[in-house]
Amino acid sequence: MEYAMKMEHLTKDFGSFVLKDVSMAIPGGTILGLIGENGAGKSTAIKCLLGILRPDSGSVELLEGEGLTAVGYVPDECPFAGVLKVKQVGAFCAGLFPGWEEDLFAHYLQKFDLSSGKKVKELSRGMKMKLTIAVALSHRPKLLVLDEATSGLDPVVRDEILDEFLSFIQDEDHAILISSHITSDLEKICDYVVYLHKGQVTISGAKDELLDTYGKLNCTRSDLLRVDPKLIVGKREGEYGCQALINDRAVFQRAYPDLPLDTPTLEDLMIFTTRGDRE
């Protein structure tokens, strides 16, 4: 499988918000992280991908024509009613998803320490999310789509879930699309990153390449004034010094060898791009 998902020139106009010309692709055996501020269009892009929303233009191809049958979806909120018991969720999901494996569901329940006799409303947010992930994994999907699935979870649960994703991706036929505000999580596991800002793709590419291309400058105000503004994506000026995100590390280092650059984080990319846009 070359691509688990290919989205091309996707546009969705809500009037007050437009998701504009979004393209991205997830090669098999990789994880793509979708980052962006609140309201940037991450959930809209995911909903268009899954057919929950109808795009105005553009195309989406899932699993080379296999469609939704091999997609596991984990929304930001547990979709199962509180009055249902965990075992009832398993019972009806068996009829929803072709390829459902009862034993696999039981395995994940045990692994995530979920009691089958408990009602969904008795579970904590972390446990509810684990249940949704267990359901998504129990029909052996090839593409796992997670929309803010780790938000609001404590670091221990998040780490546990991220480990599960890493073991899922060991199979080269598998791929993950994950959107999150928590860029540190994505930095741990993602191979590719797409940064959506105001409904448009602002940055996209292989994570390591991006972090190598961009640089974070910590300097004085007078040093910052020397830097060519074309190289600056965004800047933060404080009382004791300045920070700036540089868009081309190689060019910058040739032009200003006396100014050292740090490796930025995904959060830096997000924050400075937003700041640069405002300025």
**Nearer CB in complex with another protein: 52/225:** 52
Contact between 105 and another protein by CB under 8 A: the answer reads no
Contact between 60 and another protein by CB under 8 A: the answer reads no
How many residues bind another protein (CB under 8 A)? The answer is 29
Write b or e for each residue in 172-193: b if 16 or more Cβ atoms lie within 10 A of its Cβ, otherwise e: eebbbbbbbbbbebbbbbbbbb
Q: Which of the ranges 44-52, 150-158, 199-207, 256-264 carries the binding residues for another protein, by CB under 8 A?
A: 44-52
Contact between 95 and another protein by CB under 8 A: the answer reads yes
Contact between 93 and another protein by CB under 8 A: the answer reads yes
Q: Which of 52, 166, 225, 250 binds another protein (CB under 8 A)?
A: 52
**Nearer CB in complex with another protein: 139/249:** 139
Contact between 249 and another protein by CB under 8 A: the answer reads no
3-state SS of the chain is CCEEEEEEEEEEECCCCEEEEEEEEEECCCEEEEECCCCCCHHHHHHHHHCCCCCCEEEEEEHHHCHHHHEEEECCCCCCCCCCEHHHHHHHHHHHCCCCCHHHHHHHHHHCCCCCCCEHHHCCHHHHHHHHHHHHHCCCCCEEEEECCCCCCCHHHHHHHHHHHHHHCCCCCCEEEEECCCHHHHHHHCCEEEEEECCEEEEEEEHHHHHHHCEEEEECHHHHHHCCHHHEEEEEECCCCEEEEECCHHHHHHHCCCCCEECCCHHHHHHHHHHHHHC
The residues that bridge with 10 in the sheet, in sequence order, are 22
CB of 212 to another protein, least distance (A): 36
CB of 201 to another protein, least distance (A): 22
Q: Which of the ranges 70-78, 187-195, 197-205, 218-226 carries the binding residues for another protein, by CB under 8 A?
A: 70-78
Contact between 71 and another protein by CB under 8 A: the answer reads yes
Contact between 73 and another protein by CB under 8 A: the answer reads yes
Contact between 195 and another protein by CB under 8 A: the answer reads no
Q: Would strands 242-246 and 232-237 be described as parallel, antiparallel, or unpaired?
A: antiparallel
Quick check: 195 and 276 in contact, CB under 8 A? Answer: no
Contact between 65 and another protein by CB under 8 A: the answer reads no
Contact between 177 and another protein by CB under 8 A: the answer reads no
CB of 10 to another protein, least distance (A): 14
Q: Which of the ranges 15-23, 79-87, 218-226, 261-269 carries the binding residues for another protein, by CB under 8 A?
A: 79-87
Contact between 75 and another protein by CB under 8 A: the answer reads yes
Contact between 67 and another protein by CB under 8 A: the answer reads yes
Residues 8-37 interacting with another protein (rule: CB under 8 A): none
Q: Which residue has the tokens 């688990």?
A: 4
**Nearer CB in complex with another protein: 79/155:** 79
List residues near another protein by CB under 8 A.
47, 50-54, 67-69, 71, 73, 75, 77-84, 88, 91-98
